[in-house]
């Protein structure tokens, strides 16, 4: 729960220090998806996981929830995270080609992934200089950050436009 220090203020010759409190190394993992609808609107979907990292089972649960909310066939473009390519995700994708099709981005190409821009924005704006006392505070603040980003359609469109892949928005 170490803070990302973005900007701070202190009197001259007194370096500001942000002290993390609470248990060290407790994290909140976030998975997200940007969806461009047939009408070219951009929507974001997020899921939080406290105290653990997303593995294949958690990613599969997220994909199933995404399929329930997005009622049209999905073209999924994502990075080469091992959990994206391994079982059970790979098997489920192979059994559901009519519903969802996955394309992997080239290796080491975060500039092609607009969701990476969301994480950078959240860390340097919504969560910058934030030092939670407990895990619940970190969960709440992360939830607020994702909901704030999710509700700003102009911001979501800017993430899609800024990435080097060609997504048609108009």
Q: Distance (Å, rounded) from C-alpha 61 to C-alpha 47? A: 10
Just give the CATH number of 28-162: 3.30.420.10
**Residue range 95-124: mean pLDDT, rounded:** 91
The pair of structure tokens assigned to 68 is 């329930």
Once rounded to an integer, what is the mean pLDDT over residues 48-61?
93
12-40 residue pLDDT tens: 887 777 666 655 567 889 999 999 888 88
Q: Which residues pair with 33 in a beta bridge?
A: 45
Q: How far apart are CA 58 and CA 64, in angstroms?
A: 10
Higher pLDDT, 17 or 93: 93
C-alpha distances in Å from residue 42, one per residue of 15, 96, 108, 132, 134: 42, 24, 25, 31, 33
135 pLDDT tier (thresholds 50, 70, 90): confident
Q: What pTM does this model have?
A: 0.83
């Amino acid at each position: 729960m170490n803070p990302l220090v973005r900007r701070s203020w202190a009197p001259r010759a007194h370096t500001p220090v942000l002290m993390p409190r609470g248990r060290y190394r407790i994290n909140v993992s976030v998975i997200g998806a940007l969806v461009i609808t047939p009408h070219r609107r951009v929507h974001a979907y997020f899921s939080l996981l406290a105290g653990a990292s997303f593995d294949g089972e958690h990613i599969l649960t997220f994909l199933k929830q995404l399929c329930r909310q997005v009622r049209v066939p999905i073209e999924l473009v994502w990075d080469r995270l091992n959990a994206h390519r391994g079982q059970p995700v790979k098997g489920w994708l192979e059994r559901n080609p009519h519903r969802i099709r996955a394309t992997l981005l080239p290796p080491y190409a975060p500039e092609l992934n607009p969701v990476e821009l969301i994480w950078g924005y959240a860390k340097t704006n919504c969560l910058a200089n934030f030092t939670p006392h407990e895990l619940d505070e970190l969960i709440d603040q992360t939830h607020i950050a994702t909901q704030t980003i999710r509700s700003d359609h102009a911001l979501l469109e800017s993430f899609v436009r800024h990435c080097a892949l060609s997504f048609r928005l108009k």
